[in-house]
Structure 1
């Protein structure tokens, strides 16, 4: 984690009761961010009630002494422009929120009351048990959860990591509600105390106002004691040097090589594991990954991830395997240990470490990705591990080279500390894990293999990277040019339009270049879209090793498909970015893949599309919604058939036809001068002679008003799910504004009614859903206990009742309006975010680049009488188009009128009218 927050003014206070507080003043900020870490994660669950910590987390939202109504604190946060959330991890639970900056003193007492005096109402406990059980059922077919449970069952049963963290109705209901209530009270009393909690606040409010508010809110916390964390070793001796076979639900083949070690990730001065993962995870030419890809054994490699705690760490090297790679697991392990031998030999080469430190410092200095609330959560956790002096140094110190410490870290990368997980449909298994039913088998790695690995020497075709050629000595700002901070066209001619704007806001030596190739031959028919996917996948694979050094030096790129063709996006430091863009344009226009590359990419696309069919029901429904509403979006199931049918010769022909005519739209924004914008224009002119076509319309189907269309989506999941989508009559600003008002007004009541009160499912919500800028509202529920008929009935009954009784919201309208205006008034938080916003504006032809401002004006001028009229017309079904998508899971489907039922997607899209 990195952050650009200035910490030189951070204050560290310990309250009279022992609560540690870190206050980070941010005078230029607009919002306050607060996180309370509690050493009360699932490691502290009682042995006879796994999941109790998770249940208590839920219960803290169900009312406290001063805000007794369930979720009342969420409503309070929303009133003050914020949101509140929480999570329960291994050693820690965390409660965090953001709000309007000046609202902090007003909401802190409620936050403290939530943590200190929860009501723990028995009926609410029973309701939240059902919510947790729905959450558990929702994840039962999640391969990551299944893998995690196998991990728990193959570690030391005396270590608390082995506990089941989620909880289920069956587990909780082993206890009478009175007993469970007492257990929650005891757990809360023992762990939710000042000595066992730590608070971080990032706020624009002056410390002299915040500190008294913190003291008033949190001094009443009982002092208590810090919870012990003296666990045994995570693994016993016979749980190392093993292979764990796991059969996944998805079509996936992976090998995760784990090295068990103490908490070396907490060494913030040398960061030895960061250095080791930098070398093992290298993707450039000559790397471990490149060598294994050349043998067609591996398609991807990630080094350094893995579970971690205050005093333990799993260092994972995860390989995405091909079918051939699965048969060569031993050779892959030998290659890994050969690469490790190189790393161990190079420890004395200080320049490698120093280059990595320079790359890290550069990334931190110009980091644009840090989210203040995540930063607050990190610092609250850090208060348990580091002194105030160390915390200030955490993210501002250049990593210090220490050869002895690096050698000590590398001493854990030995066969004796090895655990190898092999995840593939073909593996042999002999048992099932609890709760998720994942099939697995544990066997010792052969002594001969372990002996081979211990004797490994560097491999001939693997080498450590040389000095990074993309690492510049100077990152400077170009001279500002008056009037160039708003996008304007530097070229607008047949086949091409290039836009340019200089950044005058963030003063960063970074920038973005977007180039969209709109290619009719790649947008339709289905066979062409399938060929495009295969070709882009092969192209990205081809480029990966060639430009990896650029990536880690802060020069990034993406080449991705979209409805009308494909886009090249380069971003990062402007030094050498134009050269990178030029090379990538040439690659796009000239790359010819081999038959082997075609087969590899085709296999990857088949796997990805096949796995997408196993997504959660709500995800499947929203994906299908986009397919039905957007003319040039295809369903994964249909695309899979087209990919299966695609041949190498067909793909070559389609690719050749595709680049015979296209339209290019480009945008350059950031630390660039006008001369560079002209260079980009000339570059596109010279490199893209076939840019002679027209832009492609992003048409949206027009749903009928006054009747409902229905569409069933197949799903492998046992849960039922329903999405009710209401399509606005136009994409005008007033209709968009009213659509946003409707969603904002009904979001909290919908969640409260269908999830908290009716307990229909864990996944319940609403969303403002624009397709190609055409607005709509979606209401969705996924349920393990109710079928689609009951879900749809509950949804429509709620909607009809709320629309007929819209006057109830008159009192709330000023607050709803204020929250919407704040959302629309949010500033660009980074140069990259601003570039993206301007690029989207160009795509939607918002050439005033102020759509949010105009939407805010519309919302500000809406009267409640206009909302009443809108609600009446919506309730009478004379305004919005309606579409219901559903997956029936283990329940019966909907009985829908044949004339209103979409069974053939292609026919629906052919016959549907489209908004112009």
Structure 2
């Protein structure tokens, strides 16, 4: 008999409806009815992951996750991905230590059909030999993509250094060796093992399902029972793990690790009891709150004063049942790297301070109050993100509490805090030090090499005298518990609306110096506001040196505000100071009640900061390292960077910025900042729980903080940057090398017509129709690499189709395969049925008209229109109206002109990132796959110098505003024009 749970605790602001079920087959289900949703979503999690892999087949759980999406008895291969492409959705999956989770979103009216296909994964997989052979290559490509990723390398090293007898030590992702070569040697049939693993573990009694849709709860329940109630209950008993993977032999160790990038960090990790059952008291949250605090008297404050670190965090990591860690992570300056033992000593001083003080109920109550406010007024999650979060929680927490378990605290249990504290000791820890300096030639350290990612490391015992010193570390006077949080809001009221409120943004204040756009929220009705303002200065991007100064100054400002603003961030009020395209951008978002207080402090610091030379040197060195590390970024990141450099009228390469760092000086920084603030314009947006009266108070704060002698900018200063226009029939290629990654990359940009309603929608519809087909051909069938995608590529004034492939194959060969795909696309489009074409139009229309789920998403839409100076705040409705008029012949004509290799208006720019690393396609002796060049493709023109290349091109005109207003300084209102949108 089905068990029903109707009283699921939810936020009083949450208008969604919930119901929990335990079906007859013991499948746990959470149903969410949202009558306002445009998208539906679902997720199913199986309580089995890589720790259940057979010892002789590491990566099997992850491989099975891949295989299930490529065919069951219904649908056949690739029909699953095609279905979502045609119906406005996407599908995803991932594998962790003890969970494999599948999830998707789709247009709400197609939810039942999607669930019908989805449910077959768990009952009737095919696992054909052809698909197995091909998908092994995809898994192997994924492994190679991660090979130079330090995060993946560190995680695997932690597993590889755990107890060899514990399943935590397994290689999680798998590769060709573990899934093909080794099984062949051992006479293992991989297909049989896949079927066996699925048959053994894919049982309804260890599964959870979350469905979110527009239908009523009763209708969703009928669908869930019908489609998932027949999954077999094999009465699986979850595997028991043999204790903790870090026992006495693995503790009291110091591990030195050499990263790929120039990183420096210190991590102290402690094995602790699994505290997930104590979610109502959250003992680990109390300790995270205090150890990770950033106010005056905090551990981080002490580290910063000594010049050892700029960032610290504490975290609780429950990796599997009965396996949890508490960790303290510290980034290191050069001086910090020299004082690792002293930093550890300071950390234990603070931990010992917490022992002396005993748990404080007032601190717990403050955490509880903050969390309760955050839960009550949290933004509405997107359907797919929401079901993904909840589906694994459904396997951890009671159904009634599944929504609140990650937020709400209600039980004060100091004894549990002390139980965790007992584990935070020097003889129950491991210390990891990460730095490239550890691999210097004169270090004298002999390193070992981790098997799967070839990470160099050295492990050694921590001397007993050091353990004793840390045990007895007495807290210094400057370490203190935090004070009461003054940013906890006094009022959570929704302010009254203005008379005759506008549907769109209006300008409520304008001078020669500042212009303010405003919209009182009438959709989300939360006590939150978003404030954004951009400081445009002609000195911001004059040259690479100016850019470098601006970056360092932003770091210094954020650093100076850390102690003050940390309490605000805990109370759901956050700020950020960022580099923008034209100067600086300041954001303040969150609960509105004390927003003006934070704004005042942020502006005071931004404008009047007395720069400390010691902190300047720390951030200068950190900034230089980040620029140096850019060369080790993923090839696709580098490719995008050079694409933009070739297409944007004025841009600076990372190599140019790095070269300019040799001219940085402390005195010149101070001169630059003075110059930056001497001449500027401020463009501001206030959106949310702020009526005109509240907005005017914020405006007064802004205007009062800037010096009276600031020179306003003239209209030419505010012109946006343009994009270069490639010549019709052009086929250009720019090649760079990369010695860090084994994979290469090809990034193709096919430039189309500039932004207008017609060209916007033709381009978007073309991408909607062809993106999944591209993925299927280039990644799945051609097996070029793990990353293979066709996307929309929009720049400032231009736009086009972007095709990106990251591959172990040579870029010349990959480029040929891309051209071959584009050539064959002609028949794909011509053979597409009218019904299929209309499905894609419908999917795109619904996607474009989907309502923002969070206020910040709507704020971003408004802000994008403001910064681009286009002011089309109803763009989606206008462009979808035109979309409805597009025919299949229109799309084919667009393809023939802009995409086909012989198109009259085809403009191609390809960036090739060639790997010269060991095993890379550009390494000495590497061969290019043989192919016959396509006769219809012209010989590419090589770009040797980006600046020279751009000097021979014209640029696209700036986009004309959809809304009209008079020059700044007038009292004009904003008028929406009934003309074609750009």
- C-alpha distance after superposition, 1:730-754 (max 9, x if no partner): 1212111111122112111111111
- More displaced stretch, 413-422 vs 893-902: 893-902
Rounded Cα–Cα distance in structure 2 between residues aligned with 1:459 and 1:368: 41
1:33 positional shift: 2.0
Rounded Cα–Cα distance in structure 1 between residues aligned with 2:359 and 2:743: 56
Q: CA RMSD in A?
A: 2.2
Structure 2 residue aligned with 1:105, among 94, 112, 121? 112
Structure 2 residue aligned with 1:295, among 285, 295, 306? 306
Structure 2 residue aligned with 1:885, among 895, 911, 915? 911
Answer whether contact 1:729 1:881 (CA < 8 A) is retained.
no
Give the SS at the match of 1:761. coil
Q: Label 1:382 to 1:848 Cα distance change in 2 as closer, same or farther (>3 A).
A: closer
Give the SS at the match of 1:823. helix
- C-alpha distance after superposition, 1:361-392 (max 9, x if no partner): 11111112634333323433233333334436
- C-alpha distance after superposition, 1:741-791 (max 9, x if no partner): 22112111111111111111111001111112532210011111x101110
Rounded Cα–Cα distance in structure 2 between residues aligned with 1:906 and 1:312: 55
* Counterpart position of 1:722: 746
Give the SS at the match of 1:760. coil
- Superposition pairs of residues 711-790 of structure 1, within 5 angstroms: 711-716=734-739, 717-772=741-796, 774-784=798-808, 786-790=809-813
Structure 2 residue aligned with 1:801, among 821, 824, 828? 824
- Superposition pairs of residues 310-325 of structure 1, within 5 angstroms: 310-325=321-336
* Counterpart position of 2:76: 68
Structure 1 residue aligned with 2:943, among 895, 899, 902? 902
Rounded Cα–Cα distance in structure 2 between residues aligned with 1:79 and 1:402: 52
1:20 positional shift: 2.2
1:21 positional shift: 2.0
Answer whether contact 2:635 2:806 (CA < 8 A) is retained.
yes
Rounded Cα–Cα distance in structure 2 between residues aligned with 1:677 and 1:478: 11
Answer whether contact 1:33 1:372 (CA < 8 A) is retained.
yes
* Counterpart position of 2:621: 603
* Counterpart position of 2:960: none
Answer whether contact 1:534 1:598 (CA < 8 A) is retained.
yes
1:51 positional shift: 0.7
Rounded Cα–Cα distance in structure 1 between residues aligned with 2:365 and 2:908: 60
1:465 aligns with 2:482: yes
Q: Label 1:649 to 1:905 Cα distance change in 2 as closer, same or farther (>3 A).
A: farther
Q: Label 1:369 to 1:164 Cα distance change in 2 as closer, same or farther (>3 A).
A: farther
1:216 positional shift: 2.2
1:195 aligns with 2:205: yes
- Superposition pairs of residues 507-586 of structure 1, within 5 angstroms: 507-586=525-604
1:534 positional shift: 1.5
Answer whether contact 1:263 1:312 (CA < 8 A) is retained.
yes
* Counterpart position of 1:217: 227
TM-score (norm 1): 0.96
* Counterpart position of 1:245: 256
Rounded Cα–Cα distance in structure 2 between residues aligned with 1:29 and 1:914: 42
Rounded Cα–Cα distance in structure 1 between residues aligned with 2:34 and 2:380: 17
Rounded Cα–Cα distance in structure 2 between residues aligned with 1:676 and 1:212: 49
Answer whether contact 2:81 2:772 (CA < 8 A) is retained.
no
Structure 2 residue aligned with 1:451, among 456, 461, 468? 468
Rounded Cα–Cα distance in structure 1 between residues aligned with 2:293 and 2:390: 30
- C-alpha distance after superposition, 1:139-179 (max 9, x if no partner): 11111111112101211112111011111112222224971
Answer whether contact 1:627 1:633 (CA < 8 A) is retained.
yes
- Superposition pairs of residues 679-698 of structure 1, within 5 angstroms: 679-688=697-706, 689=708, 690-694=710-714, 695-698=718-721
Structure 2 residue aligned with 1:594, among 577, 588, 612? 612
- More displaced stretch, 40-49 vs 904-913: 904-913
Rounded Cα–Cα distance in structure 1 between residues aligned with 2:325 and 2:575: 31
Q: Label 1:679 to 1:10 Cα distance change in 2 as closer, same or farther (>3 A).
A: closer
- More displaced stretch, 330-339 vs 381-390: 381-390
* Counterpart position of 1:433: 450
Answer whether contact 2:397 2:405 (CA < 8 A) is retained.
no
Rounded Cα–Cα distance in structure 2 between residues aligned with 1:477 and 1:216: 43
Give the SS at the match of 2:25. coil
Answer whether contact 2:29 2:210 (CA < 8 A) is retained.
yes
Rounded Cα–Cα distance in structure 1 between residues aligned with 2:456 and 2:889: 60
* Counterpart position of 2:962: none
Give the SS at the match of 1:724. strand
Rounded Cα–Cα distance in structure 2 between residues aligned with 1:899 and 1:107: 44
- C-alpha distance after superposition, 1:177-225 (max 9, x if no partner): 9711111111111011212222122222123222222222223322102
Structure 1 residue aligned with 2:142, among 129, 132, 135? 135
* Counterpart position of 1:838: 862
Rounded Cα–Cα distance in structure 2 between residues aligned with 1:393 and 1:500: 34
Give the SS at the match of 1:769. strand
Structure 2 unaligned segments of length 5 or more: list them: 1-8, 439-444, 958-982
* Counterpart position of 2:504: 486
Structure 2 residue aligned with 1:349, among 353, 360, 370? 360
1:617 aligns with 2:635: yes
1:383 aligns with 2:400: no
- C-alpha distance after superposition, 1:433-478 (max 9, x if no partner): 0111000111111111111121122222111110011112322111
Answer whether contact 1:761 1:783 (CA < 8 A) is retained.
yes
1:852 positional shift: 1.8
Answer whether contact 1:44 1:91 (CA < 8 A) is retained.
yes
1:897 positional shift: 11
Q: Label 1:536 to 1:55 Cα distance change in 2 as closer, same or farther (>3 A).
A: same
Structure 2 residue aligned with 1:17, among 15, 22, 25? 25
Q: Label 1:178 to 1:430 Cα distance change in 2 as closer, same or farther (>3 A).
A: closer
Answer whether contact 2:751 2:800 (CA < 8 A) is retained.
yes
Rounded Cα–Cα distance in structure 2 between residues aligned with 1:344 and 1:265: 23
TM-score (norm 2): 0.90
Answer whether contact 2:40 2:107 (CA < 8 A) is retained.
yes
Give the SS at the match of 1:745. helix
Give the SS at the match of 2:215. coil
Alignment size in residue pairs = 913
Structure 1 unaligned segments of length 5 or more: list them: none
Rounded Cα–Cα distance in structure 2 between residues aligned with 1:809 and 1:392: 44
- Superposition pairs of residues 30-41 of structure 1, within 5 angstroms: 30-41=38-49
Q: Label 1:365 to 1:774 Cα distance change in 2 as closer, same or farther (>3 A).
A: farther
Answer whether contact 1:430 1:440 (CA < 8 A) is retained.
yes
Structure 1 residue aligned with 2:693, among 675, 682, 685? 675
* Counterpart position of 1:706: 729
Rounded Cα–Cα distance in structure 1 between residues aligned with 2:123 and 2:366: 48
1:685 positional shift: 3.6
1:571 positional shift: 0.8
* Counterpart position of 2:974: none
Rounded Cα–Cα distance in structure 2 between residues aligned with 1:193 and 1:617: 40
Q: Label 1:254 to 1:878 Cα distance change in 2 as closer, same or farther (>3 A).
A: same
- More displaced stretch, 74-83 vs 359-368: 74-83
1:521 positional shift: 0.7
